[in-house]
């Protein structure tokens, strides 16, 4: 199995930005700019309040819808939380789990991330499991140790028998919203480590098919070099995904010899 079977996944994480009206206009503009790309998947993760209103425009444009977070329980007394069952009802195919902002601002533990990942898999929603090191961990040479710990906790005891059921996003914390980006080589090294870990944890064929995204100040001017790396299968984009023109250029990255 080669990288040619991994359809690139270009994901926009809007975080706590854009109104519903702005979101509808964004989707219309992005669709106008992109048409219906056949060789890559376009995903948008808007705020929870936007999921239902954007469901039909997203489907009409051929884009995939994702939630930015979830709770692992099906229902219960969890004020302010949203279950995977509720998320699935909105038409979401994906859910982002363990984003660095959830880990480091809201204090979500590796164990919590694991429970959310398990819940998503059990309910047929594809988890995009985010992992990544802080700057002091990278400078101390602990990047692989941190990634190993997060992967082990996030996927412990879980069965992934087909690669379409799981996405991993490597997002170095020091590169998120800072303007700093991992070099293509740094990003590739981390992605190769993750794929090797997946091959040991699951199956080599499955690991070769799982898409691993890069997130961390992805922009139109660096996406081409990032996407040229053999183990980078897409991007999880924050600030540069809030303007349709900017995100469209990221989606339309120049292949630089890498065939999706």
Task: Report if residue 198 sits inside a domain.
Answer: yes
Task: Report if residue 23 sits inside a domain.
Answer: yes
Task: Report if residue 259 sits inside a domain.
Answer: no
- Residue 106 sits in which domain range? 3-82+92-251
Q: How many domains are contained in the chain?
A: 1
Task: Report if residue 140 sits inside a domain.
Answer: yes
Task: Report if residue 256 sits inside a domain.
Answer: no
Q: Which of 244, 247, 238, 234 lies closest to 177 in space, CA to CA? A: 238
| Angstrom distance (rounded) from CA 228 to CA 258 | 5
Tokens of 88: 């699935």
Which residues touch 193 (CB under 8 Å, ≥6 apart)?
143, 144, 147
Render each residue's pLDDT in the chain as its tens digit; 260 residues.
Answer: 334 479 999 999 999 999 999 999 999 999 999 998 889 999 999 999 999 999 999 999 999 999 999 999 999 999 999 999 999 999 999 999 999 999 999 999 999 999 999 999 999 999 999 999 999 999 999 999 999 999 999 998 899 999 999 999 999 998 877 777 789 999 999 999 999 999 999 989 999 999 999 998 899 999 999 999 999 999 999 999 999 999 999 999 987 655 44
Task: Report if residue 36 sits inside a domain.
Answer: yes
* Distance (Å) of CA 238 to CA 66, 99, 122: 14, 11, 28
Q: Supply the CATH number for residue 241's domain.
A: 3.20.20.70
pLDDT tens digit sequence for 191-226:
999 999 999 999 899 999 999 999 988 999 999 999
Which residues are annotated as catalytic? 99, 171
Task: Report if residue 257 sits inside a domain.
Answer: no
Predicted model pTM = 0.94
Task: Report if residue 87 sits inside a domain.
Answer: no
């Amino acid at each position: 199995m080669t990288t040619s079977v991994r359809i690139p996944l270009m994901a926009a994480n809007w975080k706590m930005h854009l109104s519903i009206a702005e979101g509808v206009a964004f989707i219309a503009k992005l669709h106008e700019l992109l048409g219906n790309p056949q060789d890559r998947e376009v995903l948008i993760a808007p705020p929870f309040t936007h999921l239902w209103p954007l469901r039909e425009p997203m489907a009409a444009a051929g884009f995939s819808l994702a939630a930015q977070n979830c709770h692992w329980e099906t229902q219960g007394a969890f004020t302010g939380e949203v279950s995977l069952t509720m998320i699935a009802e909105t038409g979401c195919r994906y859910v982002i789990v363990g984003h660095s902002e959830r880990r480091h601002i809201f204090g979500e533990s590796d164990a919590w991330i694991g429970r959310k990942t398990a819940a998503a898999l059990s309910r047929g929603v594809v988890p995009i499991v985010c992992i990544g090191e802080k700057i002091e961990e990278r400078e101390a040479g602990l990047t692989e140790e941190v990634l190993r710990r997060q992967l082990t906790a996030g996927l412990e005891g879980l069965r992934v028998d087909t690669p379409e059921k799981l996405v991993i996003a490597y997002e170095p914390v020091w590169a998120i919203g800072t303007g700093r980006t991992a070099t293509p080589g740094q990003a590739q090294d981390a992605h190769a480590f993750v794929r090797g870990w997946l091959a040991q944890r699951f199956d080599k064929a499955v690991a070769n098919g799982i898409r691993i995204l890069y997130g961390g100040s992805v922009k139109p001017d660096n996406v081409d070099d990032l996407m040229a790396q053999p183990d980078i299968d897409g991007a999880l984009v924050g600030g540069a995904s809030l303007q349709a023109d900017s995100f469209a250029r990221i989606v339309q990255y120049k292949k630089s010899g890498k065939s999706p």
